[in-house]
């Protein structure tokens, strides 16, 4: 019998801690995310910037082949732009 291979991530994409002030960039829509595809996060307001990359605007989180999202070890925090 062959091993089961996940083809999608089921369930809601990971939720960053609220103090990070990140939101999903696209309407997720409740559908599974295919393995290899990604969901994207942005700051909750346009004038905010990532604390570790002032030019960055999007965080990419990929759906892995094991059916789980590759959640970052450290979510960036959205801070007032400089």
In a domain, 58, yes or no: yes
Residue 48 near residue 21, CB atoms below 8 Å:
yes
- 59: domain CATH number? 2.10.70.10
Q: Give whole-number Cα distances, 38 to 3, 11, 46, 82, in Å.
A: 24, 14, 21, 29
pTM: predicted TM-score of the whole model, two decimal places: 0.85
In a domain, 39, yes or no: yes
What's the pLDDT at 14? 94
Q: Which residue has the tokens 């400089």?
A: 82
Q: How confident is the model at residue 82 (pLDDT cuts 50, 70, 90)?
A: low
Structural domain span for residue 18: 8-80
Beta-strand (E) ranges in 1-82?
A: 8-9, 22-24, 33-34, 38-43, 48-50, 59-62, 78-80
Closest CA to 44 of 55, 27, 53, 57: 57
Weakest-pLDDT range from 2-6, 24-28, 36-40, 43-47: 2-6
What's the pLDDT at 34? 92
In a domain, 1, yes or no: no
In a domain, 38, yes or no: yes
If one counts the domains in the chain, the total is 1
């Amino acid at each position: 019998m062959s091993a089961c291979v996940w083809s999608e991530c089921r369930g809601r994409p990971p939720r960053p801690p609220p103090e990070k002030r990140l939101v999903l960039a696209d309407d997720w829509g409740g559908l599974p995310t295919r393995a290899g595809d990604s969901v994207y996060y942005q700051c909750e307001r346009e004038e905010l910037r990532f604390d570790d990359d002032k030019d960055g605007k999007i965080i990419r989180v990929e759906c892995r082949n094991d059916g789980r999202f590759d959640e970052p070890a450290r979510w960036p925090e959205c801070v007032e732009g400089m």
